[in-house]
Amino acid sequence: AIRQLPQADAALVLLYLDELSYREMADVLGISESNVGVKLNRAKQRLNELMKGESDGS
């Protein structure tokens, strides 16, 4: 399902799974910590939708 995310969102999710802090993710991606939070929440929501679709057979 992660492969179905846009590249930037997938990178953010992978950094999150690697247990980086918001500051570390912000440094790697060149964005603000607050933007990390917003983008990460949106990416996790999208990932959740994709996974629900897969489990529903869509």
pLDDT tens readout for residues 13-55 = 999 999 999 999 999 999 999 999 999 999 999 999 999 988 7
pLDDT at 5 over 60: yes
Tokens matching residue 46: 């999208």
pLDDT (average), residues 7-11: 95
What's residue 56's pLDDT? 77
Q: Examine residue 7 and state whether it is found in any structural domain, yes or no.
A: yes
Domain membership of residue 58 (yes or no) is no
Q: Quick one: average pLDDT of 7-18?
A: 96
Domain range for residue 16?
A: 2-50
| Total domain count, the chain | 1
**Cα(42)–Cα(8) distance, integer angstroms:** 12
30: domain CATH number? 1.10.10
Is 31 inside a domain boundary? Answer: yes
Please check whether residue 27 lies inside any domain of the structure: yes
25 within domain boundaries: yes
Residue 46 lies in a domain: yes
Q: What is this structure's pTM?
A: 0.82
Long-range (24+ apart) CB contacts under 8 A made by 45-52 are: 46/5, 46/9, 47/1, 47/2, 47/5, 47/13, 50/1, 50/4, 50/5, 51/1
CB of 4 within 8 A of CB of 31? no
